[in-house]
Amino acid sequence: MDMNADVKSISQLSAEEYRQNLESLVKKRTRQLKKVQKKRVALIKKLQRAQKAESLGRMAGAIAHHFNNQLSVVIGNLEMALEDCPGNAVYRENLLEAMRASHRSAEISGLMLTYLGQGGGKPREMDLSRICLENMSLLRTTVPRGIVLETDFMSVGSTVLVDDTQMQMVLVHLITNAAEAIGDNKGRIRLTTKNLCLSDMPRLVTAPVDWKPAAGLYACLEVSDTGCGIAGKDMDNLFDPFFTTKFTGRGLGLPVILGLVKSWDGAVCVESKKGHGSCFRVFLPVQKNVPASQPDTGSQWQQSAVKGGTVLLVDDQDAVRNIGEIMLERLGFTAMSASGGPQAVALFDRHRESICCVITDLTMPDMDGWQTLAALRRIRPDLPVILASGHNIDHAMDRDHPEKFQTFLHKPYAMVQLKNALHKALQESN
């Protein structure tokens, strides 16, 4: 017997049955189209967020780099002025205040690099619950009276790969944000640690947008509050640098959190509704292996630099070269400078016997720092080289390079940091 014998053909349908079937088919196709359109809109929105994040990242990196170059000039000149200023001069305090403001500006620039995942630090295996417990005294001081800070930690926490100082920064920012959301009202903040599998993670607003979690167990740090919540129109801008809904504040708290968490291969998930509080969840992969050792930047060296000899300073910024030459001469060196890689190679070729060390900027037109380093080493393979940059060492080491430098000098740098870098480079060479 034909399976479809009991099904009427189109010609056998009445006009009413035909109309009902057609309406049913149209409704079904409409639902399918709406689902496809919804997925398409979500993908377009995700792509737009990714493009915006990439654009903001490029902008923040460029600003931080140029900012640090100019701060090198400001701090260097202030340092020279303070060194020459009599102790009883009436304007000495003005110079000191300008120096303090310059260092605060350098801190902001550093936060921008942290947003880019260039936060430095030395990640190591640590227990997430233990980190929270060790910082509870500090966290309680950030919570005003009238707000209760509740905790719920795993008795046996999960091992995550983080820097403890930077993790403290994440905790302080999250608790401070929660307290500010509650304001002068009474309320509660709840700090929780737990473990979640990939399948159990909530599918909410997650940053970075291109995060691709690996299968396995994730540690979750959760901070929820009973505050004012976040308006829907602000959700997509939460992690943009300098975006803030507060009258005061720099708008760098959440971007810094994102930068640090991103550098630990994690993500941040946000759940909020205006007038109903917020919940921030930080997901970090549970670690099983010992982390790789980090490169030594030489920042802890305190010995006096070896005096004498000629140092070649390579930088495309005139003002940076000028203050660098003054600092080198005050440290007892003869300074020689070049505005770029080609000029540096030509100068070094003529004075290779007298130049004892080269300090080269990383980001330059025509030839960058790595290309300049390689060209100089072809002339003299044992040449001590210091790499300088407004970015940090993680950015400098973002890929493998055949030539190695002796040490790294982060802009803006003071004379003592220049002295320590020269000592390390020359001692390693000797």
Q: What is the pLDDT of residues 73-105, one digit of tens each?
A: 888 888 888 888 887 888 888 888 888 888 777
pLDDT tens-digit series, residues 158-184: 899 988 888 888 998 899 989 988 988
Binning the chain into helix, strand and coil, the percentages to the nearest 5 are 45, 20, 35
Contacts with 115 (C-beta within 8 Å, 6 or more apart), sequence order? 57, 60, 241, 252, 255, 256, 258, 259
Give the pLDDT of residue 103.
Answer: 78
What pairs with residue 86 in β-bridges? Answer: none
What pairs with residue 355 in β-bridges? Answer: 310
Give the pLDDT of residue 52.
Answer: 62
124-285 and 310-429: identical CATH topology = no
Residue pair 112/97 in contact (Cβ under 8 Å)? The answer is no
Alpha-carbon gap, residue 224 to 236, rounded angstroms:
19
Counting as low any pLDDT under 50, the low residues of the chain are 1, 3, 5-7, 247-249, 290-305
The tokens describing 219, both together, are 């540690």
Residue pair 346/314 in contact (Cβ under 8 Å)? The answer is no
How buried is 84 (Cβ within 10 angstroms: 0-12 exposed, 13-18 middle, 19+ buried)? exposed
Query: Helices 15-84 and 318-330, interaxial angle, to 10°?
Result: 40
Please state, in angstroms and as integers, the Cα–Cα distance from residue 148 to each residue in 260, 316, 323, following that order. 27, 54, 52
Q: Which CATH superfamily hosts domain 124-285?
A: Histidine kinase-like ATPase, C-terminal domain (3.30.565.10)
| Structural domain boundaries in the chain | 124-285, 310-429
Give the pLDDT of residue 54.
Answer: 66
Give the pLDDT of residue 347.
Answer: 94
**CATH topology for 310-429?**
Rossmann fold (3.40.50)
